[in-house]
Amino acid sequence: MTAKIIDGKQVAADMRAELKAEVEKLKAKGVVPGLAVVLLGDDPASKSYVTAKEKACGEIGIYSDDNRLPAETTQQQLKSLIDRLNKDPKIHGILVQLPLPKQIDESKVLLTVDPDKDVDGFHPVNVGKMVVGEKTFLPCTPHGIIQLLIRSKVELEGAEVVIVGRSNIVGKPLANMLIQKSPTGNATVTVCHTRTKNMAEHVKRADIVVAAAGRPNTITADMVKEGAVVIDVGVNRVADATKKRGYRLVGDVDFDAVKEKASLITPVPGGVGPMTITMLLYNTVESAKRTVLSGR
Ligand code: NAP
């Protein structure tokens, strides 16, 4: 079997077109969804993520408020900025680009963001709501993965899902979402990590494998069941002298070999990546819709 490729760029483009229409409806009601982006320092990767997020906002009509601060910014200065953004009615979502410089306590920053504007879904209040199955902002990467699966018509109900990776931004929230008693859940989930014994034995059982380890070739063809759906979250740089920049991006899955066994597979790049920003836009539009409903 040769797998069909799940085209994350196409799914993202479809969702962005839907969101653009939603933004137009909101604008007709006098509300322009607004996303504040906060970036400390000038790490090149963070800068390029922030630029991509702002560009994506512009493309669907979301107002983006750019806040770039020096790397030496103090915890108090950052808190003051977030406090101001929390109160600003033009802002419906606040995104603090991670990682933050060493002098900043990241967990305190996440607590400062108003849960009603926490479009990353990282505030403990929103994490708690997600766990108990209440409507809330869902973290972007795992929510993007669920959208990819649903829009590719993958059956989640009763599916055996094996997730490799237990981070707070991918593995843990994805596992929580997939076990919810809901049409976008109802799966049976196993989460593997570096202390898992016989990881291959778990992965071999999976109808759906999600690789989020951050290590090339974590998932090889011998570990994958014939016909499984394989979602590759990993983004890893490997040296490549044939490329101008000296490296290429690969996922966590041995793509060429695994695609001969899987039924569906995401490429890297062009799979999960485009969905992460799309779900940030989705949460920002949802937040603006809530303000219309609540008359805030
Ligand atoms: P992370 O915080 O480094 O977590 C990695 C997880 O994988 C940890 O739970 C770790 O286990 C586990 N792990 C690592 N090596 C393993 C191995 N050999 N066997 C089993 N488990 C292993 O990473 P993350 O932030 O979740 O990101 C994971 C990958 O996804 C990275 O490549 C990242 O760049 C990518 N990513 C992509 C997007 C996107 O939009 N495309 C978004 C987020 C992340 P322990 O807990 O035991 O250490």
Residue 294 confidence (pLDDT): 81
Quick one: pLDDT at residue 237?
Answer: 94
CA 29 to each of CA 128, 292, 295: distance values in angstroms, whole numbers, following the listed order: 32, 8, 11
Pairing of β 236-239 and β 247-250: antiparallel
Q: Is 90 helix (H, G, I), strand (E, B) or coil?
A: coil
How many whole angstroms from 251 Cα to the centroid of ligand 1? 11
Of ligand 1's atoms, which has the minimum distance to the CA of residue 193? Answer: 21
Global pTM reads 0.96
> Is-catalytic flag, 53?
yes
CA distance 48 to 279: 18
Per-position pLDDT tens, the chain of length 296: 899 999 999 999 999 999 999 999 999 999 999 999 999 999 998 999 999 999 999 999 999 999 999 999 999 999 999 999 999 999 999 999 999 999 999 999 999 999 999 999 999 999 999 999 999 999 999 999 999 999 999 999 999 999 999 999 999 999 999 999 999 999 999 999 999 999 999 999 999 999 999 999 999 999 999 999 999 999 999 999 999 999 999 999 999 999 999 999 999 999 999 999 999 999 999 999 998 888 66
Could you tell me the distance, in angstroms and rounded to a whole number, from the CA of residue 172 to the centre of ligand 1? 11
Residue-level pLDDT at 26 = 97
Pair 289, 254: CB distance under 8 Å: no
What is residue 292's predicted lDDT score, i.e. its pLDDT?
82
User: Which atom of ligand 1 lies nearest, measured to the CA of 252?
Assistant: 32
- Angstrom distances, CA of residue 123 to CA of 106, 138, 167, 180: 11, 10, 15, 19
User: Which residue in the block uniquely carries the two structure tokens 């967990």?
Assistant: 107
Cα(72) to centroid of ligand 1, in Å?
Answer: 28
Q: List the 93-96 sheet strands across, edge first.
A: 63-69, 34-40, 93-96
